[in-house]
Every structure is written in structure tokens, then in C-alpha cells.
Chains A and B, each alone.
Chain A
């Protein structure tokens, strides 16, 4: 390359860089992509869902699932990380191994899990940290989920602490690593291992083998998964097969590089400068979604409309859900139904009579008992992983 050419190229390149950062207006978040087409193919034990990938399976629940307090097993979202998932599970030989800094290494069968420990149940929301990622602008990397990478189910199983106690923790035990049966395509590739510190483990963290009164669906982690009420789903290990106790944090790829956000007050950064240090996404922020009506629904003039949806947070507790029909200028409180505990969906309903023809937008905003409320979509701050989006939801219908 000639010297003059080099200058020409670098001038053009720097002009392009300047152009992209200084001339374009700051992009704002907008509601996530909605009404994606349901796939043509049903996955095992599932009805057809929004399908992003078959390997690993990535399935999203449609908006109508937010109209109910419990998400049915066959419409519950699916997110795996690794391509090789065992296609046959033999319950007679399947065990969870508890090893490392324990007094006695043990291998627990599903049968022992069901018979040798106190059985407990909890209803809790399971939400991917990247749920609603398609709301972020500029577009961040990762699956461009709409709002359906979440669901709420009743989980039955045994306390994680009871299982750890059975093996007996050494006094210097500090970190608990979880691994499932899924494997990467190449032996040297990182396994999907997640770690929790012992202090993080709550009494309501359970090893669940049942979901809504049925065996866990295969794609939701059959025969047993970790359940961590209030937390995003990244550590709810599916097809759980190994628990290793250590005294030191082990540096695993999926802990150090995945599911992390800026460790600052606003948990945000700019596309030009990613913030360091980072921290794990951990617990969920306050959020609500409208399940009915849907975008594009047609409602009759003067009809009796019942807007329905769900709200949740990290278990702090939902105090109110408000609805606006004037783009957020005024708000009216919806009725709440909270019958499955504070980690479950709070159901809301709001009756409304449309008295004007044309487009009508419903917005829903949840507030928890600490007064934390959802921001407008445009006010959600950006992070490059596209995590923790909780903008006010909106649905636009046509009154005819």
C-alpha cells in the first residue's frame, strides 16, 4: 500500500467512526419485539412455541401466557447453552454426585431425593436474564428475545441445604459449583458450570423434580434442576448431575464472561465504552407484562374489556400495578391476585370500556413494596449484554 493510500483509508475510517458516534442521535430503548411467529414444529412435551434454535433448543412463550398466574409446562420457555443433551435418561442409574470439600461423597438417586428428604414446594418465576433483549438499541449481541423468556411454575423438590448437609460440609467450604448433563461439542470447550457462594444459598433454594404437579419436562431439565426463587435463571442448573464444594472461587467461563452487568449504581454503560468491573446479574428487578389484550387485537366500542397480566420482582413483593391509557400521563390501579406467594406471578386485572374508535394503547407499570417501579421503555439504561430489561409494557389495540 502506498503512503498516500494509507492516509486516504485511515481518513475515511476515522470519519466513519466519528460519524457513528457524534452525528447520530442517542438511541433509546423501545418495547421488545412482540408477536413473533410461533414455530411450525412442536418440541418434545411442548406445543409449538416461538423457536430461535433447535440446537441448542431456544423456545419463547407467546404473550398470551402472561394472562395466567401459572405457566403451563407445555408452553414454558426453553433455553439451553450446550448442543449435546442426553436423549435418554435412566432413572435407575441417574444420580446427583455431591463431592469436593464434604465429609462424605454421596450419589443421590431421584428415588432417594423423593424419599429420604423433607419434600417442599414453592411457586416461583423463572426468567432468563436476557429476556426482552430485543428492546436494547443499539442492538446488543445474544438471542433477540421478546418478552417470553419467562414463566411461573410450582416447583417441588428438596432443599439444597438439606442435600449439602447429608454430605456434610467441611468448615472451609465456601463455593458450590453446579453442573448438568449437557455437554459442549468439543471436549476442550468450557462446560456450563455455575457457582454460588455458601452465603448466597437461601433456605428456599431447592432441587426440583416436579413442575406444576408433573415430572419436569425434558427440555426444562428433567429429571432434576436447581430452583432459586427471585434469581434470574442462569444458575437454575438443568439436568443437574454434579455439585462440587470448594474453598475457592474457580474461574469458569460462564461465570466470568456470561450473565454479568456493569458494577455501578445504574448498572449501565455506553456502547462506546463498556464499564468494568462487572458483577453477576443475580436477582430480578420489578417487571410486569400484559397478557390480554394483545398488540393488534380488535375491541368493540363500549365493550367490557378486562386487561389481564402478571407482575413480579425478586420476592420483595408487588404492591401495585397501574394501567395508563393516555401514554403514561395518568395511571389507575389494577386489581391484584396474589395467591401463590411472593416469588410467584402477581396476577392483575383492569376493567375498561373503550369509548372512542381507533388506536388505543394500554400501558402497565408495577411497583414493589420498596417503591421500586418500572421505568418507561425509553428510560431503561443500556448494557452490552442486554440484561435486566424491565421497561413499562404496552399493548396497542384497535377499537372498532
Chain B
């Protein structure tokens, strides 16, 4: 009896240790819609997050996307060149916008 108990506890102790080796989180190829300045968006945004993170914010205004880009640049320190800020906001508004400027 004692032996059976020991075996059981060993099983419980080791069976669910799941993170022994290197974990691999899958890569998902979220496609951005084709549009003007798509390449600018790809060059600036992908360093920090997937395109899924952008596409799943809901349809938003030009002002929303502009403020989002500025937040990435200033609060999150993404090295987005000044001349790219409006290009990114324009692309997001044209392709993931709600038609409203504000």
C-alpha cells in the first residue's frame, strides 16, 4: 500500500510540470489590407506588436489613429520618424477607419 501511494504522488508531482524546455509561441501572419503607406506601417509597427493588435481595435476615427501613433512614439518610445506619423494615421484611417475625422 505504501508503495502504491509513493508512486501516485510521484506521478502527480511530475506529470504536470509543463514548462521544462523552451516554449515556442506560434507566429500568426496577420495581413494588413493593401493600401497607400502600408509599407510605412509594416516598417514602424511590427517591432513591438502584431498587426492583429491593430486590426482588433475596432473601426476608429482619424483623430484616434493619430493619437495612437503619437502614444506609441512618445509614451512607448517607438522610434517612429516625424514624417511617418501622419502616413501611419492616414493608412489606418483609410483601411481601419470609421469615416469620422474626430
> Looking at the complex, which one of B27, B48, B100 makes contact with A54 (CB distance below 8 Å)?
B27
Q: A54-B50, A87-B25, A142-B57 are in contact. Are A253 and B16 (CB under 8 A)?
A: no
- Cβ–Cβ < 8 Å partners of B81 in chain A: none
Q: A43-B25, A188-B77, A215-B18 are in contact. Are A141 and B49 (CB under 8 A)?
A: no
Interface secondary structure of A, over-half rule? loop
Give the residue name and chain of the B residue nearest to A187 (CB).
B77
Q: A54-B52, A214-B16, A215-B18 are in contact. Are A185 and B60 (CB under 8 A)?
A: no
Nearest Cβ on chain B to A254's Cβ, whole angstroms: 10
Nearest Cβ on chain A to B62's Cβ, whole angstroms: 11
- B58 interface contact, C-beta 8 A: yes
The interface size bin for chain B is 35 or more
- Cβ–Cβ < 8 Å partners of B23 in chain A: 44, 87-88, 218
CA–CA, A20 to B100, complex, Å?
A: 8
- A184 interface contact, C-beta 8 A: yes
- A237 interface contact, C-beta 8 A: no
- A64 interface contact, C-beta 8 A: no
- Cβ–Cβ < 8 Å partners of B64 in chain A: 141
- A354 interface contact, C-beta 8 A: no
Q: A87-B24, A257-B75 are in contact. Are A143 and B57 (CB under 8 A)?
A: yes
> Looking at the complex, which one of A55, A143, A215 makes contact with B16 (CB distance below 8 Å)?
A215
- B79 interface contact, C-beta 8 A: yes
- A350 interface contact, C-beta 8 A: no
- B70 interface contact, C-beta 8 A: no
9 contacts across the A-B interface (CB closer than 8 A): A41-B28, A51-B28, A51-B52, A52-B56, A53-B56, A56-B49, A57-B25, A85-B25, A88-B23
Given contacts A16-B101, A218-B18, 15 further A-B contacts (CB under 8 A): A13-B101, A20-B100, A51-B52, A53-B28, A54-B25, A54-B30, A55-B50, A57-B25, A87-B24, A141-B57, A186-B76, A189-B76, A217-B18, A218-B19, A257-B75
7 A-B pairs with least C-beta separation: A139-B58, A53-B52, A214-B16, A54-B28, A188-B77, A185-B48, A53-B53
